[in-house]
Amino acid sequence: MEEKKISFWYFLIGILIILIVMGAIKNLTNHHEKEYRVVNSKILESAKDCYLKKDCEGEITLKDLYDKGYLEVQIDPVTKENMDEKICIKFEENETLFCN
């Protein structure tokens, strides 16, 4: 009888650990998504300024924004490395978008 109680508690603790780990992973994923939204928003706003001031036209890259002084080098919030300078940005219908 005592073994069944111990097994039950091990089972319960195992389930709790799994739930805590799953919650932590979900929380970390949401945090990374928010960090990317902030960086992407900064890039798109800088690109929009460049287009509206007529310094940029057509498809541009992140490097173009760096070279024209609209943006400082952006760091990937997850890898902590510089963002790829080849990221493409376009201006369509008065809106800045990332190229596909």
Domain span at residue 75 reads 2-98
Q: Please write the tens of the pLDDT for every residue from 39-98.
A: 999 999 999 999 999 999 999 999 999 999 999 999 999 999 999 999 999 999 889 999
Residues sharing a CB contact under 8 Å with residue 86, sequence separation 6 or more, in sequence order: 61, 62, 63
In a 3-state reduction of DSSP, which class is residue 40? helix
| pTM for the whole structure | 0.78
Q: Please write the tens of the pLDDT for every residue from 2-15.
A: 788 888 999 999 99
Q: Which spans in the chain are helix H?
A: 2-52, 62-67
pLDDT number for residue 16: 97
- Domains identified in the chain, total number: 1
pLDDT number for residue 3: 81
